[in-house]
Structure 1
């Protein structure tokens, strides 16, 4: 019998799969237990985390970003010195390529395993204000907020500085 031809037993082939356990994971009701740690892969590239004490403000992450999602800005209350600038990432543009993590000389920039980044706009916003509000919420300076759930880190074996 050639591929695609039907036989008299074709309707009966569905019965062999009727009592098998489904293969799909019903997230969020079920968790994925494939890896050592609970959740996604250990090298998953989620939102960024940055150890601000190690970051020297060199701007190499801004220069390497292929979609210009990183801008070096001064935190509030800091003077205009190159070493004081920190990366601000626009997650509306970020393609999660991790070039910025690979090029970081101090290994302060890492990617976490967090992927459920969400924000809720207030109901009082009108006439396009909601779009601007959400766009502003997805552009922030990575801190060590998700440091306990680090995923992708550069393959460098030694620390250059720090």
Structure 2
């Protein structure tokens, strides 16, 4: 009998699965308890988080990003008059590869386990206005707000400048 041929016993193979418990999970009513922490994998790469006190604004994350999803935004000046820059992530372009986290010299940039991002729009907006509104909302400066549930991180302590 070849691979595609059916057997006379084919209808009986369904009987063995008839009384088994289903493998699916009815999310969000049920949550699969597989990992030590509830939710997705403990090393899941979700939205970015950045410890702004550790970030030196070097721009390595911007240079390594294969999709130009990170741009450095000037947020002020230091005592010497130099611009203080922090990364802003465009989630419309980000592929969540984690290169920016790997290359961060201060280990300030991490990826959280948060993956749901909602944008509220006004019903009175035209289609063109709504698209522009959503484009602007998908550009976020990562901060400590998602730092309570860290997922992907390089995990290695790094020395800065020696």
- The alignment's TM-score, normalised by the length of structure 2, stands at 0.91
CA distance in 1, matches of 2:4, 2:91: 46
For residues 53-90 of structure 1, give each alpha carbon's deviation from its aligned partner in whole angstroms, at most 9, with x where no partner exists.
Answer: 00011111111111100000112xx23724x1000000
Normalized per residue, which structure has more strand? Answer: 2
Partner of 2:153: 153
Query: What SS is found at the alignment partner of 2:136?
Result: helix
Task: Tell me, yes or no, if structure 1 residue 81 matches structure 2 residue 94.
Answer: no
Query: What SS is found at the alignment partner of 2:148?
Result: helix
CA distance in 2, matches of 1:114, 1:159: 28
CA contact (8 A) 2:105 2:158 kept: no
CA contact (8 A) 1:107 1:159 kept: no
* Deviation larger for 57-66 or 150-159: 150-159
Q: Give matches, 1:132-143, under 5 Å.
A: 132-143=132-143
Partner of 2:129: 129
Partner of 1:41: 41
Q: What is the RMSD computed on CA atoms of the aligned residues?
A: 1.6
CA distance in 2, matches of 1:26, 1:160: 47
CA contact (8 A) 2:44 2:112 kept: yes
Task: Tell me, yes or no, if structure 1 residue 56 matches structure 2 residue 53.
Answer: no
CA distance in 2, matches of 1:100, 1:126: 36
CA distance in 2, matches of 1:160, 1:31: 41
CA contact (8 A) 1:90 1:139 kept: yes
Q: Size of the alignment, in residue pairs?
A: 158
Structure 1, gaps ≥5 residues long: none
- The alignment's TM-score, normalised by the length of structure 1, stands at 0.91
CA contact (8 A) 2:106 2:158 kept: no
Query: What SS is found at the alignment partner of 2:16?
Result: helix
Q: Give 1:159 shift.
A: 4.5
